[in-house]
Structure 1
Amino acid sequence: MYGAISLRRMLGVGLLRSGQCREWSPLWSGRTSQGRAQFVSSRAEGEENQRTVNSLHSLSVDVARVRQLKRWVLLADEAYVSETADILKEMGAKERTVARILQRCPEAVLCAPVETSPQRELWASLCPNKEELLRIVEQFPDSFFISRNAGNWQDNIEYLQQLNLNKRMISRLLATCPQAFSNNVRKNRAVVETLQQTFLQLGGTQANMNIWLMKLLSQNPFTLLKPPETVGENLACLQLLGFSKAECLQLLTKLKGLILELSPPAMEESVGFCERELHCSGEGLRQLVLRCPGLLYCSVAVLQERLSVILGEGFSVEQVKGSPAVLEVSAHILRHRIRKLRSLGYSVERDSLALLDGTRKDFEASCGKMEQRRERPLFNPAAPLNIED
């Protein structure tokens, strides 16, 4: 549950927070070192570029939606709608796909072809074929069209290849977290080397180190954006809380790099809450956190709200300790799921609290099984009757 935030949403937030990408706006004027066009309109304030509007219409783009979400794109003096569409078509995109991409990322039409063509060549060098490249562009158009810093990108790609990461994985990292590639390669090298050293210090083996690192980066590429010293600070805190080196490695792996987003005070507060409210300490407390590392990621206020909902519905603390992952589910979703289960005959005393956690798909599957049991007839009318003569 602690990884529930979609990569696309994280991408947008990360770009703005990291300062690696300026949020395009018609209020911003000027040219970057790459020669990006000016986006300030010279027409009357609020007047749209009719040529841009007509070109988007001709490609079946929902201009009304663009106007609602990113109207400033329609105000720009310069736009390259047909040129951008041609580049996408050369990559194998059908007309419907072109419209879908430009609707999701209309600012793509503000990129001059002289910028987009080299970008396409770099991405193509990482993808085995046009189909794979087009799939990535369709899924992450912002990464393809907006992010720029070719020099650092190439350096970081070469460095990751030295770590034996294959091109397919690098292309996925580039798509989901392009701002990490805009960093100086020294910054990413420092993070990677810190993770490698930490893995070995906690008992990992040299033979498994790269496999572990690749899995960690693929699950959470935003790990590369965090200060490397955060790793040591947080692991030192976990050891002070009583976790062994092997247990720290287990937590680092299960949290998928999210441990870099935590802080010692926050972890101490969360562990203190579990000790106080769930009445466990020592080995029992450590096992609870190891079973549900997301407890470290939730604030005390969030944990308190969720626990209050669960206890208010008649569950016991012992049941919560038996299924701690339920505390990773939001209070709103907990209420909804409890109502749904009760309508299907769920019993607080009889049934497992574990039915409340898991993904939406898991929960719906559990509900489906309960509905089948409830609708099943008491006897099978088609079955033969055993009647003695």
Structure 2
Amino acid sequence: MLRLIATSLCLRCPHVSALPLNLRPCATLSSAENQQTVDALYDLSVDIQKVRKLKGWVLHQSPAYTKEVADLLRNMGASGPIIARILGIHPEAVLCNPKHMQTQRELWTSVCPNQKDLVAIIEKFPASFFTSSSHHDNQRNNIAYFQSLNLNKRIITKLMASAPQSFSRPVEQNQVMVCTLQQAYRELGGEEANMKIWLQKLLSQNPFVLLKPPEVLRQNLLFLRDKGFSTAELLRLLSSLRGFVTELNPDSMRSTLAYSQDTIGCSEAELRDIILKCPALLYYPESILDERFNGLLSAGVSMSQITETPTVLELTTQIVNYRIQRLKAQGYDVRTGSLQVLNGTKKDFEMSFGKLQLRRERPLFNPVAPLKADD
């Protein structure tokens, strides 16, 4: 039995609701729009009508610091169109006090010193940068904690950008979840020398894993162990699921596994092998799996083909049908060939499709055939 499961952690991670990202500082709310804000946004080529429609409340608040926000971004290398896009998406930024914005800039540059890269992050995640000043201490402490783990700065920056709630909350809560993940890795036989890389990869692929209660991870690992997965297989699943194991629960997995086994008509041992090839089967609901199984079977694909390449179930029925038709036009029959050619991203498929097309169009060269010569 896993010591991870048999023992309880000395620390407990309380369930914490997500902190609001929309910044609404204590400012005067007027029935009339703040004309200075409207004019400043207009001068910056921001779509005022869009702001009025989606976040009109911002235009009614005072004080606002539109010019200061624009100057900050401009000093960081942002162009006029980029500034307009940022303020169009997240006009709440103009309500940030300049002093607080400068603090944010210092915090973010401590993990992302390249100004061009930072501007690109702000453009994509403006709400993560223009956040409440009350979170600065937590942000600073969390940055220091993740740096103490020797995590790559790019990983820390990605965490701050895509899961800002994890940096806005007390550092102790992140410490509990990270310790739980590290303990699970050790208990499942992971090598200590590779743990930092493993943790970096997991956090990079699913930053929201930090926001989940540690108990969920323990319960799911216990359930999967009871289903017959070995310690090594559990580590493989934990890594393959990219932290999404924390999104699952025993009831949903039990239902999905029962459906899959009944549909495929296999033993529990055979089902475990299929799950190891395609861990996504653990978290797809029955309705989605039913649609995808039936879609493949109606296209003439056999169940043995599906179990040989179960990752094809990660694709929607629409994508599968589209790819099957593309392949059929090139003379490839998925009913007799491998389903591997269907797999992967759009880019992966186009590469495979291109190879098939090239193979069909390229004339066969016979090295012993006599060459034609002019008379």
**What SS class does the counterpart of residue 77 from structure 2 fall into?**
coil
What is the number of residues matched between the two proteins? 357
The residue number in structure 2 matching 1:195 is: 181
1:92 maps to which residue?
A: 77
- Cα distance in 2 between the residues matched to 1:147 and 1:228: 27
Note the alpha carbon deviations across 1:332-364, whole angstroms, 9 max, x for none: 322332333333333133332222221111122
Match of 1:112 among 88, 94, 97: 97
Q: Which of 165, 182, 187 lines up with 2:151 in the alignment?
A: 165
2:353 equivalent to 1:367:
yes
1:343 to 305, 329, 336: 329
After superposition, give the CA deviation of every residue in 1:157-186 in whole Å (9 maximum; x if it has no partner). Answer: 222122122433322211121100112112
Aligned twin of 1:266:
252
| Unmatched segments (≥5 aa) in structure 1 | 1-16, 25-30
- Counterparts of 1:263 and 1:60 in 2: how far apart (Å)? 48
Query: Corresponding residue for 1:284?
Result: 270
Distance 1:193 1:68, change over 3 A: same
Q: What is the Cα deviation at residue 289 of structure 1? A: 0.5
Query: Residues 136 and 257 of structure 1: is their aligned pair in 2 closer, same or farther, counting only changes over 3 Å?
Result: same
Cα deviation per residue 1:303-344 (whole Å; 9 max; x = unaligned)?
111111111111110111111011111223223323333333
CA distance in 1 between partners of 2:344 and 2:52 (Å):
38
Deviations 1:222-248 (A, max 9, x none): 110000111110000001111000000
1:116-167: CA deviation from partner (whole Å, max 9, x where unpaired)? 1211111122223323322322232121013551111112122212212243
In the alignment, the residues of structure 2 paired with residue 373 and residue 39 of structure 1 have an alpha-carbon distance, to the nearest angstrom, of 69
Residue by residue, what CA displacement relative to the aligned partner does 1:179-198 show, whole Å, maximum 9, x if unpaired? 00112112111111111111
State the AA in 2 paired with 1:92.
G
CA distance in 2, matches of 1:373, 1:247: 39
Who is 2:39 aligned against? 54
With over 3 angstroms needed to count, the CA separation of the structure-2 counterparts of 1:266 and 1:55, relative to structure 1, is same
Query: Is the contact between residue 269 and residue 300 of structure 1 (CA under 8 Å) also seen in structure 2?
Result: yes
Shift in Å, 1:374? 4.6
Q: Specify which of 111, 133, 143 is matched with residue 118 of structure 2.
A: 133
Q: Which of 10, 22, 30 in structure 2 is aligned with 1:41? A: 30
Could you tell me how far apart the structure 2 residues matched to 1:39 and 1:316 are?
Answer: 66
Equivalent residue, structure 2, for 1:20: 19
* Contact 1:42–1:77, Cα closer than 8 Å, also in 2: no
1:37–1:112 contact (8 Å) kept in structure 2: no
Report the Cα offset of residue 271 of structure 1.
1.7
For 1:150-161, list aligned pairs within 5 A: 150-161=136-147
Contact 1:84 1:109 in 2 (8 A): yes
Secondary structure of 1:20's aligned partner: coil
Q: Distance in 2 between matches of 1:67 and 1:376?
A: 58
TM-score by length of 2: 0.87
Q: Does 1:303 align with 2:289?
A: yes
CA contact (8 A) 2:40 2:67 kept: yes
Provide the residue aligned with 2:319 in structure 1. Answer: 333
Report deviation, 1:387.
Answer: 7.6
The letter for the 1-side match of 2:198 is: W
CA contact (8 A) 2:21 2:131 kept: no
Question: Contact conserved, 2:22 with 2:92, CA < 8 A, in 1?
Answer: no
Structure 1 range deviating more: 241-250 or 62-71 = 62-71
CA contact (8 A) 2:152 2:200 kept: no
1:292 shift after superposition: 0.6
**Counterpart pick for 2:59 among 74, 88, 97:** 74
Structure 2 unmatched runs, 5+:
1-15
- Please give the residue correspondences for 1:138-287 in structure 2 after superposition, counting only pairs within 5 Å: 138-146=123-131, 148=133, 149-287=135-273
Pairwise CA RMSD = 2.6
The alpha-carbon distance between structure 1 residues 89 and 341, as it changes in their structure 2 partners (threshold 3 A), is same
